[in-house]
Amino acid sequence: MRVDVKADGRRVVQAEAIYLPGEIALAKGESLTTPWLYASYSDTGLNGMSHHFHGHVRAAILPSEFAAKPRPIHLNTWEGIYFDHDPEYIMAMATQSAEMGVERFIIDDGWFRGRNGDKAGLGDWFLDESKYPNGLTQVVEHVNTLGMEFGLWFEPEMINKDSDLYRTHPDWLLAVDGYDQPTGRNQFVINLQNDDAFNFLFERLDHFLSAYNIAYIKWDMNREIVQPGHEGKAAGQKQTERYYALVDKVRAAHPNVEIESCAAGGGRIDFEVLKRTHRFWTSDNNDALERQRIQRGMSYFFPPEVMGSHIGASHCHSTRRRHSIEFRGLTALFGHMGIELDPVKETQEEKEGFEHYIKLHKALRPLLHSGKTWRLQTDDDAHQIQAVISQDKSEAAVLIAQLAMPTNALSGHLRIPGLDADATYKIDVVDKPSNFNDIVNCQPLWTEEGCELSGEWCEKVGLTMPILDAETALLIQLKRVS
């Protein structure tokens, strides 16, 4: 994209698809259809722009057949057990997950042959019978008996050189002859223009989706595509088209299966991907503070329901920071919520926390997954605030995250636009940090007793902001009373 100011003051935006050198050559009379460019005009700033994009995603992008279904709470095994798979233990994890209110249980990376670390196995999409000597059926049935859906991880487009697939088909790499492909997380990309490779991947996915009651695929993508080549020519665009074709074929054969584009590494997060998938995993970094920033970025273009957001362990694996269950729980609340840890190893106190935020998410998800998202500002950059207001303006949830120490001694005002100016709202704190009342002698009275204010007052005058410690958050709810 190029954004420029012309000599006469006009603003110009140009956008183009990036094709690699020599990738596309049009013969006389031939035409080319580029990817869609989505643009929006807003006279109400970036919030207005996001409302347009979110509305468009909901009305015209997302696969419609799942629109009415509440998005189930996940338990994903990755940060709980990584590559260490023992079916008995996994079933114990599932039992505990169901007790906490989880609705979908997903086995992540590590279940297939040769996959004991991230250096080998990608491509060998056969159950590792040394880890699962009695097969996968008993695990799937256990999960289903507990009332949860079952999901399974794949990374179809990728291959490790240390795999039977590569040893048999070294020519399936997406590469330009004579150039060594650089690795990304020890892996390479499979050339989906190769029909044999494409058919093999479809057959493997189809096999698992037919043999087991799988409701969900976590479809990973852990590296960028670099120097893609097919038959001596650059092949970036065609690879992407064939990836769409593979997803489409899987969906046509298994229309009830939902797919996550787990695109942390490979960047397959865009509206074209979302036409055929149901949500995104935005990053491997599950630190609640980092996640606040990641989720803020995501919110400009995507509504909360398509963004996976999981509560991780108190000691974050990617940053080594520690966060309270309140901050982790509230941070995960404003997306499609899940839990990313081993519940068997967690303390009773933590488990009660997970249960609490799962309940809260279930109560709020009809609002969060259909309402209008507003990013709110105060005078303090250390605040990050997001409101979701129902389309009929009858209720709202507002999350105040304190990212760092307050900049000023007094915290200023929280002003909430987008409500019904003439209506009266009852405002209550729904969830707060455990030390909320220890921080200062006196938090604003409304945080204790609630208050009633008009929509106009909320927008123009606002509420006195409470004082929060760094890396904590507060959830408030507004309900129209008259």
222 binds ligand DGJ (CB under 6 A): yes
Nearer to ligand DGJ, 306 or 389 (CB): 306
Q: Hey, what amino acid is at 275? A: K
Nearer to ligand DGJ, 105 or 281 (CB): 281
Q: Computed from CA positions of residues 65, 67, 70, 73, in that sequence, does the dihedral angle turn out positive or negative? A: positive
Q: Which residue is nearest to ligand DGJ (CB)?
A: 109
Do residues 414 and 446 lie in contact, with contact meaning Cβ atoms separated by under 8 Å? no
Catalytic site positions? 220, 284
Neighbours of 441 (CB within 10 A): 6
Q: Which residue has the tokens 């950059």?
A: 381
**Shortest reach from residue 284's CB to ligand DGJ, in Å:** 4
316 binds ligand DGJ (CB under 6 A): no
Distance of CA 209 to CAs 131, 215, 251, 254, Å? 20, 8, 10, 7
78 binds ligand DGJ (CB under 6 A): yes
154 binds ligand DGJ (CB under 6 A): no
281 binds ligand DGJ (CB under 6 A): yes
128 binds ligand DGJ (CB under 6 A): no
108 binds ligand DGJ (CB under 6 A): yes
Nearer to ligand DGJ, 340 or 431 (CB): 340
Considering only 264, 389, 465, 473, the residue that binds ligand DGJ (CB under 6 A) is 264
Q: Hey, what amino acid is at 73? A: I
**Shortest reach from residue 120's CB to ligand DGJ, in Å:** 12
Do residues 467 and 439 lie in contact, with contact meaning Cβ atoms separated by under 8 Å? yes
Nearer to ligand DGJ, 110 or 303 (CB): 110
Write the DSSP string, 402-467.
E-SS-SSSS--EE---SS-TTSEEEEEEEE--TTTTTSSS---THHHH-EEEEHHHHHHT-EEPPP
Q: How many residues bind ligand DGJ, per CB under 6 A?
A: 10
Distance of CA 413 to CAs 102, 331, 383, 467, 473, Å? 37, 21, 11, 11, 16
Nearer to ligand DGJ, 201 or 264 (CB): 264
Euclidean distance between CA atoms 286 and 328, whole angstroms: 9
Considering only 192, 262, 306, 453, the residue that binds ligand DGJ (CB under 6 A) is 262
**Shortest reach from residue 352's CB to ligand DGJ, in Å:** 25
284 binds ligand DGJ (CB under 6 A): yes
153 binds ligand DGJ (CB under 6 A): yes
Interface residues with ligand DGJ (CB under 6 A) are: 78, 108-109, 153, 220, 222, 262, 264, 281, 284
